[in-house]
Amino acid sequence: AKLPKKRQSLFYSATMEGKVVELARTLVHDPAYVTIAPENPAVERIVQKVMFVDKKHKDELIVNLMSNKKLDRVIVFTQMKHVANKVVRKLEGAGITAAAIHGNKSQTARTNALADFKAGKVRALVATDIAARGIDVDGISHVINYDMPVEPETYVHRIGRTARAGADGDSISLCCAPERDYLRAIERLIRTPIPVDLKHALHCEKSMNATGADAKPGPKVRQPNRKVQVGVDGRAKHHRGGGKRPSHFRSRRSQGHR
């Protein structure tokens, strides 16, 4: 309220993702956008490739990849926190050391996971994009995109975790059909097609050739809340929200019971 009506406002962000743009538009009038980026934002020393796979086979594929000892210090990116936990379980079940960092982990847990990763005690650090911000670890051999990023700029930030300090690095993206358009957006940004690995055992032609609605994530189906009530007999009774209340409950309310 104390700011003058006529003023110059400047906003800075490493990435201009959808929510950031929406916020800026609520605070500024007729803004000008200035983007500072190299002509080709992809890191030249990174060997990139994409592996098309059915979504249900991603776990099997990442275990197959991590079975190669050349992938000795790897960051795996997922979109969701529960997916990061699942990937860690799958890797550990295959005898591959892994740890997860995301917003549901305590600061102590995240610090310990990162320390173990730096020390070489775990080969794979599985992270969400937000949790991975600020991580600066040299010697990362590979970046694996278990989930394709929604924003193409995020892809550049992800793969930039490898090939640091003059070293070479590799990035591997696992792409299923609903993520196909994400990959197309990434290739438009970096102005080059990402080489496709056609030789892996779980290659999926459907994912590679997906177009239209098949190349986009489906709508999220919201599950109704599950309610639990205890009946007069002391037993739990389950029913989903949105329906009528049990008759005994309505009758008690109508009689003035609170």
Q: 54-101, pLDDT tens digit by residue?
A: 999 999 999 999 999 999 999 999 999 999 999 999 999 999 999 999
pLDDT digits (tens, 9 = 90+) for 173-229: 999 999 999 999 999 999 999 999 999 999 999 999 999 888 888 765 454 555 445
Q: What is the pLDDT of residue 228?
A: 46
Q: What is the pLDDT of residue 43?
A: 66
The residue type at 110:
R
Residue 113, classified by CB atoms within 10 Å of its CB into exposed (0-12), middle (13-18) or buried (19+), is: buried
- 3-class DSSP state for residue 180? helix
Q: For residues 224 and 239, what is the distance between their CA atoms, to the nearest angstrom?
A: 10
pLDDT digits (tens, 9 = 90+) for 111-128: 999 999 999 999 999 999
Phi/psi of residue 108, each to 5°?
-65, -45
Q: For residues 177 and 215, what is the distance between their CA atoms, to the nearest angstrom?
A: 5
Task: Report strand pairing: 142-145 vs 169-175.
Answer: parallel
The verdict on pTM exceeding 0.85 is no
| Ranges of each domain in the chain | 46-215, 224-258
Contact by Cβ (8 Å): 125, 162 = no
CATH architecture of the domain with range 46-215: 3-Layer(aba) Sandwich (3.40)
Kindly report the length of the chain.
258
Q: Any residues with CB less than 8 A from the CB of 195 and at least 6 apart, and which?
A: 48, 49, 50
